[in-house]
């Protein structure tokens, strides 16, 4: 009886452990993700923020394979997946899944997305766009989309722009050269033209 009385107080003590709230994957289920993909993703223990980003990516038309690849790329770099909006923008601009995954694997998808979309809107060929993007992924000096647009406005052809990029000029050097080209263009547009007319008597 005495032993029983000693055990009872211990049983009445609060254990101090709280049940962890269950992660809600409803957004992904509603986005149209396959149940098999969802089952695999659950094993990665997503945060609410990651679930929201993946759901936005799915609603933007991405396939399950792209979603999983981008999630894994982010995790491989030791951070959460937060690039759903960037990936959707790139896809809508015409970038392939492989190109988007390549940007994610370099851990620069958010840094590159805005400029990459602008390059497509400029009407540059896929080969030129790919060269510019790959240089940025590798950390090599290249031009911003704004600088490339300014070069186009000076009358430079795409081939000439690509040659300019491949020179590997630093940001300051490239800017100095672009300013010179713009000055030359502006000067040629303001050349004095003699107006011939009848002499007054």
Q: What is the chain's mean pLDDT, rounded?
A: 85
Structure tokens at 84: 């759903």
Q: Is residue 161 part of a domain?
A: no
pLDDT at 14 > cutoff 60: no
Q: Is residue 52 part of a domain?
A: yes
The rounded distance, in Å, linking the Cα atoms of 143 and 104 is 20
Q: Is residue 91 part of a domain?
A: yes
Q: Is residue 80 part of a domain?
A: yes
Res 8: pLDDT? 46
Provide the residue range defining the domain that includes 82. 24-113
Range 28-33 average pLDDT: 89
Q: Exposure pattern of 66-85 as b/e (b: 16+ CB <10 Å)?
A: bbbbbbbbbeeeeeebebbe
pLDDT at 155 > cutoff 60: yes
Q: pLDDT, tens digit, for every residue of 161-189?
A: 999 999 999 889 999 999 999 998 888 76
Q: Is residue 30 part of a domain?
A: yes
Q: Is residue 50 part of a domain?
A: yes
Range 79-89 average pLDDT: 95
pLDDT at 74 > cutoff 50: yes
What is the tally of structural domains in the chain? 1
- The residues near 24 (Cβ < 8 Å, ≥ 6 apart) are 48, 51
pLDDT at 1 > cutoff 60: no
Res 61: pLDDT? 93
Q: pLDDT, tens digit, for every residue of 39-60?
A: 999 999 999 999 999 999 999 9
Res 163: pLDDT? 93
29 pLDDT tier (thresholds 50, 70, 90):
confident
Q: Is residue 37 part of a domain?
A: yes
Range 78-92 average pLDDT: 95
Q: pLDDT, tens digit, for every residue of 101-154?
A: 999 999 999 999 999 999 999 989 988 999 999 999 999 999 999 999 999 999
The pTM (predicted TM-score) of the whole model is 0.74
Structure tokens at 129: 């766009």
Q: Is residue 63 part of a domain?
A: yes
The rounded distance, in Å, linking the Cα atoms of 108 and 132 is 13
Res 5: pLDDT? 46
């Amino acid at each position: 009886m005495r032993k029983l009385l000693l055990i009872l107080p211990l049983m009445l003590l609060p254990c101090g452990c709280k049940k962890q709230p269950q992660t809600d994957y409803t957004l992904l289920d509603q986005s149209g993700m396959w149940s098999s993909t969802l089952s695999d993703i659950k094993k990665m223990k997503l945060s609410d923020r990651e679930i929201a980003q993946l759901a936005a990516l799915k609603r933007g038309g991405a396939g399950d394979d792209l979603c999983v690849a981008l999630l894994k790329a982010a995790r491989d770099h030791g951070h959460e997946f937060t690039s759903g909006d960037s990936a959707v923008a790139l896809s809508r601009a015409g970038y392939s899944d492989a190109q988007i995954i390549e940007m994610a694997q370099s851990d620069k998808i958010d840094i590159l997305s805005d400029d990459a979309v602008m390059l497509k809107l400029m009407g540059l060929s896929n080969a030129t766009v790919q060269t510019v993007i790959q240089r940025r992924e590798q950390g090599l000096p290249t031009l911003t989309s704004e600088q490339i647009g300014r070069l186009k406005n000076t009358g430079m052809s795409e081939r000439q722009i690509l040659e300019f990029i491949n020179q590997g000029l630093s940001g300051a050097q490239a800017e100095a050269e672009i300013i010179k080209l713009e000055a030359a263009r502006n000067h040629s547009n303001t050349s004095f033209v003699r107006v011939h007319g009848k002499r007054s008597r």
